[in-house]
Amino acid sequence: MAPKLNLPELLCKGAYINGQWITDAKSKFQVQDPATLEVIGELPDQGPDDIDIAIESASAAFTTFKKTTPRERSKYLRDIYNLMIENVDDLAKIITWENGKHINEAIGEIKYAASYFEWYAEEAPRIYGTTIQPTNPTNRVFTMRQPVGVCGIITPWNFPSAMITRKAAAAIAAGCPVIIKPDHQTPYSALALAYFFDKLNLPKGIFNIVLSKSHVPEIGLKMCESTKIKKISFTGSTNIGKILMKQSASTLKKLSFELGGNAPIVVFDDADINLAISQSIASKFRGLGQTCVCANRLYIQQGIYDKFVEKFSKEVSKFKVGNGFDTSCTHGCLINQLAIDKVKDHIKDALSKGAVVKIKGGRDDSLGPNFYNPTVLSNCTQDMKVAKEETFGPLAAIFKFSDIEDVIHWSNDVEHGLASYVFSKDINNIYIMAENLEYGMISCNTGIFTDSSIPFGGVKESGFGREGSLHGIDDYTILKAVTIGNIPQI
* 184: amino acid identity, one letter: H
User: What distance in Å separates the CA atoms of residue 110 and residue 342, rounded to the nearest whole number?
Assistant: 28
The order of strands in the sheet holding 263-267 is: 356-359, 375-380, 395-401, 295-301, 263-267, 419-423, 441-444
Across 73-98, b (16+ Cβ under 10 Å) vs e yields bbbbbbbbbbbbeebbebbbbbbbbb
Please give the backbone phi and psi of residue 292, each rounded to the nearest 5 degrees, phi first: -70, -20
**305/282 Cα distance (integer angstroms):** 19
Report the distance separating Cα 242 and Cα 156, nearest Å: 16
DSSP single-letter state for residue 258: E
Helix (H) or strand (E) holding 93: helix 88-99
Residue 35 in 3-state DSSP?
Answer: coil
Angle, CA of 86, 111 and 395, to the nearest 5°: 140
Exposed, middle or buried, 320 (CB in 10 Å: 0-12/13-18/19+)?
Answer: exposed
List phi, psi (to 5°) of 335: -75, -35
Cβ burial of 6 (10 Å; 0-12, 13-18, 19+) is exposed
Of the residues 258, 390, 461, 467, which is catalytic? 258
DSSP state of 218: H
Known catalytic membership, residue 123: no
| Torsion sign (Cα): 286, 287, 291, 295 | positive
Known catalytic residues are: 258
